[in-house]
Amino acid sequence: MTSYLLRALGALILTLLLTKPGVAAGSDPASTVFLEEMTSPELRQRIAKGATTILIPIGATEQNGPHMVLGKHNVRVRVLAAQIADKLGSTVVAPVMAYVPEGSIQPPTAHMRFTGTISISEPAFEGLLEGAARSFRQHGFQDVVFLGDHGGYQKNLARVANRLNQEWARDSHTRVHALPQFYAAAQAPFNAQLKAKGFTAAEIGTHAGLADTALALAVDPALVRHERLTQSPKAAEANGVSGDPRRATAEAGQWGTQAIVDASIAAIREAIRPRAAR
């Protein structure tokens, strides 16, 4: 009996360790919106049932000052893409693209001057986007949506979308949408809201400042080293920060994340409406 109980306890512990957070044992794994969490037949069935829109979240791996992790963009875009997909319905989220152009490697420029930043060339990046879009077209997706969380490559997203749409113009089975609204919602509108709440432009900043840090806190507080927020900001050239993140809060960040989700959903619905009407 003792041996049986030990084996049963061991099996229970193993089950708890292997069960994914947020997915209860025995639940339907196909309920996820993430492509990488589905099997190939599950995805094929999802597409056959009408899930013909796929979001490609695009992040970056770059320095974010001494207080925020290198993968901030990757975590943020994945979480927000899932929220967008949930509200849109019939939508799948592709794996995050974490390798993007970040400046010259030798000699290092821009964020490449800081340890941990990863940069690829613009042709390589556009080739990656194009290959992903062609793959999803092959599998039956009708609308491929680029969600870019970083400002530096927005022009690349538009260029790839335009190139593929021109190539596929005679066969409108699949359209590619570069969605500038996703990135734009976290810029001027969010900054204006922060200013209205009493934060200054000097605090808000343009990179790893209050606005950027607040968005990270709203998505996942673990992205931010809270003990570093109490330190006086050094010159931007020294620590890679533009702005002052010390008063950033998750509540402030939620204003921005909600704006991103709402603006993206409206833009996607508008983009795919002509297809739905046919």
pLDDT of residue 234: 61
Q: Are 218 and 257 in contact (CB under 8 A)?
A: yes
Which residue's structure tokens are 């709203």?
218
Question: In whole angstroms, what is the distance from residue 157 CA to residue 151 CA?
Answer: 11
pLDDT of residue 229: 82
Pairing of strands 91-93, 143-148: unpaired
Encode pLDDT of 177-216 as tens digits.
999 999 999 999 999 999 999 999 999 999 999 999 999 9
Domain-wise residue ranges, the chain: 30-271
In this structure, what are the phi and psi dihedrals at residue 148, rounded to the nearest 5 degrees?
-100, 120
pLDDT of residue 274: 66
pTM reported for the whole predicted model? 0.87
Hey, what amino acid is at 118? I
Which residue's structure tokens are 């940069």?
119
**Helix residue spans in the chain (DSSP H):** 2-18, 40-48, 72-88, 122-138, 154-167, 180-184, 188-196, 201-204, 210-219, 236-239, 250-277
Q: Are 77 and 69 in contact (CB under 8 A)?
A: no
pLDDT of residue 238: 79
Residue 241 burial by CB count (10 A; 0-12/13-18/19+): exposed, middle or buried? buried
Q: The domain 30-271 belongs to what CATH superfamily?
A: Creatininase (3.40.50.10310)
Residue numbers in the chain where pLDDT is lower than 70: 1-30, 231, 233-237, 274-278
Encode pLDDT of 60-85 as tens digits.
999 999 999 999 999 999 999 999 99
Alpha carbon dihedral 126, 150, 103, 75, in 10-degree steps, equals -90
